[in-house]
Amino acid sequence: MGALFAAAALLYAGRRRTAPAAETGPLQMMPAPRVHWGRAFANVWNEQSRDHISVMAAGVAFYGLLSIFPAMSALISIYGLIANPIVIEQQISGLIGVLPHDALKLLSDQLHALIAAPPTKLGLGVIIGLMITMWSATSAAGTLMQALTVAYESEDDRSVLGFYARAFGLTFAMMLFALISLFLIAIVPAILDSLPFPPVWSKLVALLRWPILVVLVFIGLAFLYRFAPARKQPRWHWLGAGTIAAAVLWLAGSAAFSVYVAQFSSYNKTYGSIGAVVVLLMWFYVSAYIILAGAELNAEMDKQLEASTEEAPEARPVATR
């Protein structure tokens, strides 16, 4: 993990230094701080321990686990009103390598049970599933917002109404991200198989969906770090060191965790019939921890940027002809 964060920070610091502007937009490159590597990683390590991000990641994972099954129910219910939801069940194997096998089997079994339900129950499931999903997912989003605020060392002075409005918006954005990811991973291959395209095109699109998913992860994390925590005038940049590290580490960590669970762990022997649930909970925990660690790294880079900006001499105006 330390090596990956170092690589991300090197990439962040390797950009061309520019004079800081009064306001920065999302497409502007941020000036790189004069990074003190040892101090940076020592500070990130100390801050993640001082901020108890492992405890906060556990809270996010708990609420995430509570929301995943109602979310699946709502998704199948909505999709079943317009098309045959069995397509999702057939293509869920596309998540192999992203989710551990036991967690994937748990989700597949739940999908099968939902799809096998009579159509009359699916309509009612839309309302019930969405209500439960929004409650539990908003709780997960609120916990994540509070954790990110702590990681950025900010004071949350938002009103109760403003906080829950932001949490609701974040929940909706995460559900939209999940739907887009599901569309790329599970539904696109099924659509291509049903259309008279040459096999080469189908294979090409099937390969391209993964780079697109990586881009979506970068964009999702950039928006999360920008809008979720309570920060005053936060810098808006797509490729912060923490964003790069969190995106790459989440993708690599998910694959590594899947291999670990499949080859070396004994969750089923230890936890019995709830082993798959524990594996899924652990995957949520690892994901939440990585996101919070990325926020800690972003906060450290921001501190060093402010320090180097204060120490730097005032930039001279560039003459124009």
Residue, of 292 and 37, whose pLDDT is higher: 292
Q: Is residue 66 pLDDT above 90, yes or no?
A: no
Q: Is residue 174 pLDDT above 70, yes or no?
A: yes
Average pLDDT of span 235-241: 73
pTM for the predicted model, two decimal places:
0.73
- Does residue 62 sit within a domain? yes
- Does residue 1 sit within a domain? no
How confident is the model at residue 57, as a pLDDT?
92
Categorize the per-residue pLDDT at 58 as very low, low, confident or very high, splitting at 50, 70 and 90.
very high
Half-sphere exposure (Cβ direction) of 188: Cα atoms closer than 13 Å: 20
- Does residue 57 sit within a domain? yes
Mean pLDDT of the chain: 73
- Does residue 248 sit within a domain? yes
Q: Is residue 126 pLDDT above 80, yes or no?
A: no
Average pLDDT of span 67-78: 68
Residues 6+ apart with CB under 8 A from 162: none
- Does residue 155 sit within a domain? yes
- Does residue 129 sit within a domain? yes
- Does residue 321 sit within a domain? no
- Does residue 188 sit within a domain? yes
Question: Domain residues for 116?
Answer: 39-304
Domain count along the chain:
1
